[in-house]
Amino acid sequence: MRLLLLEDDQILGSGLRDFLGGDGDTVDWVRTLQAAQAHASSPYDALLIDWQLPDGSGIDWIRALRKRGITTTIIVMTARDQLEDRIAGLDAGADDFLVKPFAPEELSARIRACGRRSHVAPQTEVVLSGSEQPVIVDLGRRTVRVGQAAVSLTKREWSIIEALAKRTGWLVSRDDLESLVWGFAEENSGNSLEVHIANLRRKIGRNVIETVRGLGYRVNA
């Protein structure tokens, strides 16, 4: 998943970024509302938003996002623990509400739960075509199988196949795929994407990931 983390506290923000990144997610961490708004048009799977920020209110931004028709999963993180605060956050458009202090493991679990609820289909497995045996991408367990054989993937390889599997049948541009996999804080040098895709093809089959020259990449069910 690619996550936008809006948290002004240095210690909490860096800790959550490192924990979620170690969990296999791509995390873009910003500390101000202005910085978050500048990146909001990027393709994110979830927004993790602090309520009280140095330059504004996270809740007001959530209302604005929902008014614009943005349906991305949103989780509010705040020290406010009163019932009326939780109601206000959810009524503003948040999908979940987490009171500080909290364990990062709980945030990770809530992200997964919101992700399951946001998908139209209840199953988390996506079966891809293009190989002699079915390629099964389990988005819940973060595993890939070719037939019955488990496939070992690196963090980057998983991020690529996850991003494509979530958009099965859609053409994903190179720029969007790089944003989903690397985020804006990490450098992606030269042909890194092509190298990772070549490695993926060796593991899951040459024809599972389709290259549409000059446009991007696609997988099909």
Tens of pLDDT, residues 76-130: 999 988 999 989 999 999 999 999 999 999 999 998 888 766 554 445 788 998 8
Confidence of residue 186 (pLDDT cuts 50, 70, 90): low
| Length of the chain in terms of residues written | 221
Query: Above 70 in pLDDT, residue 167?
Result: yes
Average per-residue pLDDT for the chain: 86
Confidence of residue 190 (pLDDT cuts 50, 70, 90): low
- The tokens 């024809």 sit on which residue? 207
Confidence of residue 19 (pLDDT cuts 50, 70, 90): very high
One-character DSSP codes across 52-121: EETTEEHHHHHHHHHHTT---EEEEEES--SHHHHHHHHHHT-SEEEESS--HHHHHHHHHHHHHHHSSS
Q: What is the average per-residue pLDDT within 175-180?
A: 82
Maximal C-alpha separation, the chain: 56
Tell me the sheet residues that pair with 3. Answer: 27, 46
Long-range contacts: 57-65, Cβ < 8 Å, 24+? 57/33, 58/6, 58/33, 59/88, 59/89, 59/92, 59/94, 60/92, 61/33, 61/36, 61/37, 62/89, 62/92, 62/93, 62/94, 63/92, 63/93, 65/40, 65/93
Question: Are the CB atoms for 126 and 136 separated by under 8 Å?
Answer: yes
Query: Above 90 in pLDDT, residue 57?
Result: yes
Q: What is the average per-residue pLDDT within 6-16?
A: 93
Question: Are the CB atoms for 165 and 219 separated by under 8 Å?
Answer: yes
Instruction: Say what the pLDDT of residue 141 is.
Output: 79
Instruction: Say what the pLDDT of residue 21 is.
Output: 85
> Model-level pTM greater than 0.85?
no
What are the chain's domains? 2-118 (3.40.50.2300), 125-218 (1.10.10.10)
Q: Which of 53-67, 68-82, 114-128 has the lowest mean pLDDT?
A: 114-128
Query: Distance between CA atoms of 79 and 97, rounded to whole angstroms?
Result: 10
Over pLDDT 90: what percentage of the chain? Answer: 44
Query: Distance between CA atoms of 27 and 45, rounded to whole angstroms?
Result: 10
